[in-house]
Structure 1
């Protein structure tokens, strides 16, 4: 399964966001949302989240960075429910983390879906576009 595409949506005053039908179908009935890198949110199928959670749980708690990552991921994980309009409720703590106000971007990111604020996504995208050659420099044999 591969999530692809970029979709613009708005978050209503109650914190609800539409997830595009194509992505909803791929996510299935049970999926998990949590914090991700670069101040965005990630939505995983239950199976992918479980596999990643198992890998993370296997890491030793001897390092502060590992303990911190476990706390951040698991404390902020939410099982999602879609309403009849295909919306999810994004908790206030996650909206704050991802700078989500009104305009949001929902993107397919391979094995998961990401939610970005429009402003943050535009800045991030522009930076990645400007550095495309540097990004692929160390990826031998991988050229798009």
Structure 2
């Protein structure tokens, strides 16, 4: 399970440090792809297979299903962590998530996300205001 929030910089070569707690779970190879809300999603190889299986179940005769599958899967890249604990992100993913310097990596259960720090702070602040209402609608503790 991925959890927590970590702040790291992306360098001019597109490399970003993956938190040690995430690295322990990721194994030798994992997948990063275009996510929702303007961030990137990262998955272990096993979790990626489950996600890909779900995408494969989408009805190919529906235009939105084809569009989603194309955008989501075409951006996916298999990643490896270097000796310094970094991963090298491809330019299209950097551009998609607007990763310039300051980034936030967040654990979200079965995946982790990589955000532009300013976008994350804005999203987080806005969502905090709605947190109680969202919880009431979705959860029954």
Residue 55 of structure 1 aligns with which residue?
54
- 1:36 and 2:38 equivalent? no
Equivalent position SS for 1:26:
helix
What's the offset of the Cα at 1:140? Answer: 4.0
Structure 1: 4+ residue segments shifted above 6 A: none
Query: Which runs of 5 or more residues in structure 1 are unaligned?
Result: none
What's the offset of the Cα at 1:137? Answer: 2.1
Matching of residues 56-135 of structure 1 within 5 Å = 56-135=55-134
Query: Which runs of 5 or more residues in structure 2 are unaligned?
Result: none
What's the offset of the Cα at 1:54? Answer: 0.8
Equivalent position SS for 1:50:
helix
Residue 5 of structure 2 aligns with which residue?
6
What's the offset of the Cα at 1:67? Answer: 0.2
More strand by share: 2
Equivalent position SS for 1:5:
strand
Q: How many positions carry a matched residue from both structures?
A: 141
Between the aligned partners of 1:58 and 1:109, the Cα distance in structure 2 is 23
* TM-score, with structure 1 as normaliser: 0.95
Query: Cα gap change, 1:139/1:85 in structure 2, threshold over 3 Å: closer, same or farther?
Result: same
